Structure 1
Amino acid sequence: MVESLLPDNATELEAALAASTARLDDLPVRIREIGNPATAPAAFLPWLAWAFSVDVEWDLATTDAQKRAVITGSVSVHRRKGTVAAVQAALDALGFDVQLQEWFNQIPAAAPYTYRLIVTADQVGYSRADLRRLIRVVDAAKNLRSHLSELEPRGRSMQSCSLAMVPRIGCDLTITGLDDLHDVTFTLIDDDGSPLVDDDGAQLVDG
């Protein structure tokens, strides 16, 4: 097998390039995994973000999971950019729980070409820096004519309640007209009405 197809007058640089590229097939790299945001190594994510034309969301993503999410959603965002769906997709990729209401969906209707953001927070909450990140994402994905008129925060608290029950089966018996209760003897019976007995066959009584 011919090791090189270079001519005899090849330069040292060409020979070095040929020698280095000859080992590419032996490298343990799966091209499909590198091109997939879900399986690519973390070191390749910035290059994937550039290839998928990720916008401001990349600067705001702080974890690998968020970075993979914004890369995956970039195509959908660009396909619908300028619409509410694009804004919602960009916010969802960064983990924001936000509802966008355009002016004609509000009661009463707001000023034309404005929108309101309803931000829902749980026990963790959002900081001012988080809200600034949120607005940057919206500005990058929305249409140019729409402007933010209101940011409405809402809180959500999750609590659990435990309930325990103990069933009790029995009856209360009241006897009147007796002067001395020590003379009263109760025979214990089962559900069928048969007297209960001990190991020796004697009836069990309570009195």
Structure 2
Amino acid sequence: MTFRTLLPPNATQPEQALEIVMSHVGDVLFDIRDVKNPDKCPADLLPWLAWEFGVTWWDDEWTEQQKRDVIKSAASVNKKRGTPGAVRQALASVDRLIDVIEWFGDTPQGEPYTFRVVVHGNSVSTDELQKIFSHISDAKNARSFLGDIRVTPEKVYGNCYIGGSIFTRQSVTIKAKRRDE
């Protein structure tokens, strides 16, 4: 590629290299203002936008829309970081029913500044457990300690209707008595 240089003849090699690199700035195929917008940012730049917005958990397996939603919600997540609500919100991406029980809400009451997590499901893989633990460690405050993660059978909610009927058959023979008997 040929271009006219604006550098003087005594320009150093790093200056010349910088000029060559900067000459391609105008070749960008999209509006540079869209890079900061999670809805309009090109998909291949989303990880860098997530880093800039302070997203602490990123999964390359997410769909493009999930990635954009995580970036959009980063400000509210970071505002609540260190609260039980932040832990619950972080665990929402695991797609399981998970309860976070703090020490004062546990029965019997737990050690101060501890909490435990109950994962509802019949089986949990080690990858899922690692992901749950990573989400918790990322969202919890520094003073609280995770007591344990328990896996319990899945909760099933709904109405259950039970009905029944009884059918009996009985034969009765009625004999009339005579008056003279």
The CA RMSD measured in Å over matched residues stands at 3.3
Q: CA separation in 2, counterparts of 1:39 and 1:54?
A: 18
Q: What is the CA–CA distance in structure 1 between the aligned matches of 2:7 and 2:76, rounded to whole Å?
A: 46
User: Does the 8 Å contact 1:77/1:87 carry over to 2?
Assistant: no
Gaps of 5+ in 1: 160-207
After the TM superposition, which residues 1-207 of structure 1 pair with which residues of structure 2 at under 5 Å, given as runs? Answer: 14=15, 17-18=18-19, 21=22, 24-55=25-56, 57-58=57-58, 61-65=59-63, 66-121=66-121, 126-150=124-148, 151-156=150-155
With over 3 angstroms needed to count, the CA separation of the structure-2 counterparts of 1:69 and 1:11, relative to structure 1, is same
Distance 1:11 1:100 in 2: 61
Pairs aligned (count): 152
The 3 A distance-change label for structure 1 pair 146 and 19 is closer
Structure 2's unaligned 5+ residue stretches are: 159-181
Using the alignment, how far apart are the partners of 2:23 and 2:138 within structure 1? 44
Contact 2:124/2:151 (<8 A) preserved:
no
Tell me how far 1:138 sits from its aligned partner.
Answer: 0.4
Distance 2:95 2:27 in 1: 40
- Secondary structure (helix, strand or coil) at the match of 1:143 reads coil
In 2: Cα distance, 1:96 partner to 1:36 partner: 30
Question: Matched residue of 1:155: which SS?
Answer: coil
CA shift digits 1:47-104 (9 cap, x unpaired): 223222333x22xx24233544443333323222211122122222454432212111
Q: Deviations over 1:8-55 (max 9, x none)?
A: 765676566556545534532123432233443332133223222333
* Distance verdict in 2 for CA 1:154–1:67, change over 3 Å: farther
Cα distance 1:62–1:8, how it changes in 2: closer, same or farther (>3 A)?
Answer: closer
Corresponding residue SS for 2:100? strand
Q: Which amino acid aligns with 2:73?
A: G
| Contact 2:90-2:135 at 8 Å conserved across structures | yes
Residue by residue, what CA displacement relative to the aligned partner does 1:153-177 show, whole Å, maximum 9, x if unpaired? 3414699xxxxxxxxxxxxxxxxxx
Does the CA-based 8 Å contact 2:54-2:74 persist in structure 1? Answer: yes
Q: Name which structure has the greater RCO, CA cutoff 8 Å, separation 6+.
A: 2
Give the TM-score normalised by the residue count of structure 2.
0.62
Q: Does the 8 Å contact 1:120/1:153 carry over to 2?
A: yes
Percent identity between the aligned chains?
Answer: 36
How far, CA to CA, are the matches of 1:130 and 1:39 in structure 2?
31
